[in-house]
Amino acid sequence: MSSFSFYLQTVRKLLKGENSSFSRPIVRLSVAGVALGIVVMLAAIAITTGYKQVIRDKVVAMGSHVRISNYDMNYSFEPVPFDKNQAFVEEIKAMPEVKSLQCFSTKSGVIKTDDQVEGVVLKGIDQSFDTAHFKKNLIAGELLTLEDTLTSKDIIISSTLSKRLKLNVGDKVRTYFVQDPPMQRSFTVVGIYETGLPEYDSQMALVDLRQIQKLNQWDSNMVGGMEVLLHDDKNLDELAQKIDLKIGYNLKAESIKQVFPEIFQWIALFDTNVIVLLVITFCVCLITMMSAFFIIVIEQTATIGLLKTMGMKTKSVVSLFLMIAADILLKGLLWGNLVALLICLVQRQWHWVRLDAATYYVSYVPVAFNIPLILAVNVAVLVLCMAILVIPAYLVARKSSPLAAIKFD
């Protein structure tokens, strides 16, 4: 019989604990404790990953990953225009990381109904606007229909503005603009969106870009800015800098992190909270394992003495009890991963756990699976617990006297 087979059979007998009414429930509780800790860790990771992804998608849906604007642009939603026919446009579109480039402009105004008045920021878009991202936020009506020749008189408003102004799809609305001379436009509501982000929902509405060009008396080539959509945002800051170097000195490229720093600073706090939670949960798992480990060692003191009397070396005794700890850990990890996966799949499919959208920006707890991070957590828990348990295992095995251990009862 090989030494590994001997260890394996011994571990099974010790864990089975047929002659013990104490260690068996302790082992089960240890497995349950480790499993519960893994469930908490993986759920925290899935929720944080999902939440960050949802918020990012909402911001990108109303804009882009990188925004190009004039250096003289202020933040009063009245941008300084520039010609959209720039030499760098095709160069940026040719970048492998870039999905699309779209033009836009904004203009502030006032929406008035028979008995309500609300400030509004019109965002003008053209046919290059990526509707795939925005369509996820559309809760009623349809997208703008933008034709080549006719300027659309349609408008998409937020659910917040819809409730305040008592407007529904199909209603007519008048919009006034304070300028010289004052201007007025009539629009038809064709869609209602909801992002959950007050920065957008409280004021933003989508219209045809040509409406803003006419209001500002621009020609058809003038725009307030350009938005660059990327395939992913893994290297967002680096790509924003790379684009900034291509567009010349009179324009600037800003990532969404720079445009909305308060949102992304808030999201960054999630990582800190998760790290604290992971550390605390790991400590709980470790304490659970050490408690079970010492209980098993104390109960099997006679077995230790017998094994050492038979000639087993200290290293072999240490290996034996580490295999017992590994068995408990692996079972706990297995059950923890299965339960966490089940909970996350149920939540992602049916959204049973709800949130207050006014406070959390989403109406349910979002989850997403970060496979590399999940694997890293499992490996870290296994390796760190085993590494820490080596010390008490070695001390117990080295200081155990065969004669005293055999007499131990």
What residue numbers bound the domain in which 323 lies? 3-58+264-407
Confidence band of 342 (pLDDT split at 50, 70, 90): very high
End-to-end CA, the chain: 30
Please answer whether residues 255 and 230 qualify as being in contact, where contact means their C-beta atoms are separated by less than 8 angstroms: no
How many angstroms separate the CA atoms of 35 and 212, rounded?
A: 58
What's the number of domains the chain is made of? 2
Three-state helix/strand/coil letters over 46-104: HHHHHHHHHHHHHHHHHCCCEEEEECCCCCCCCCCCEECCCCHHHHHHCCCCEEEEEEE
Which pLDDT value is given to residue 196? 86
In this structure, are 27 and 88 located in the same domain?
no
Altogether, the residues listed in the chain come to a count of: 409
Confidence band of 11 (pLDDT split at 50, 70, 90): low
Which pLDDT value is given to residue 129? 92
**Residue 254 within a domain:** no
Give CA angle at 245 (242, 247), nearest 5°: 115
Dump pLDDT digits (tens) for 350-407. 999 998 887 888 889 999 999 999 999 999 999 998 888 888 777 766 665 555 555 5
Residues 6+ apart with CB under 8 A from 217: none
In this structure, are 90 and 54 located in the same domain?
no
Does 348 have pLDDT greater than 50?
A: yes
In this structure, are 274 and 377 located in the same domain?
yes
Does 304 have pLDDT greater than 70?
A: no
Which pLDDT value is given to residue 365? 93
Phi/psi of residue 376, nearest 5 degrees? -65, -40
Which pLDDT value is given to residue 14? 56
In this structure, are 92 and 202 located in the same domain?
yes
Dump pLDDT digits (tens) for 226-254. 999 999 888 899 999 999 999 988 899 99
Write down the pTM of the prediction.
0.82
In this structure, are 191 and 104 located in the same domain?
yes
How many angstroms separate the CA atoms of 320 and 323, rounded?
A: 5
| In the chain, % of residues over pLDDT 70 | 86
DSSP conformation class of 310: T
Please answer whether residues 223 and 103 qualify as being in contact, where contact means their C-beta atoms are separated by less than 8 angstroms: yes
Dump pLDDT digits (tens) for 27-60. 788 899 999 999 999 999 999 999 989 988 888 8
In this structure, are 228 and 106 located in the same domain?
yes
In this structure, are 396 and 334 located in the same domain?
yes
Which pLDDT value is given to residue 66? 95
How many angstroms separate the CA atoms of 43 and 22, rounded?
A: 32
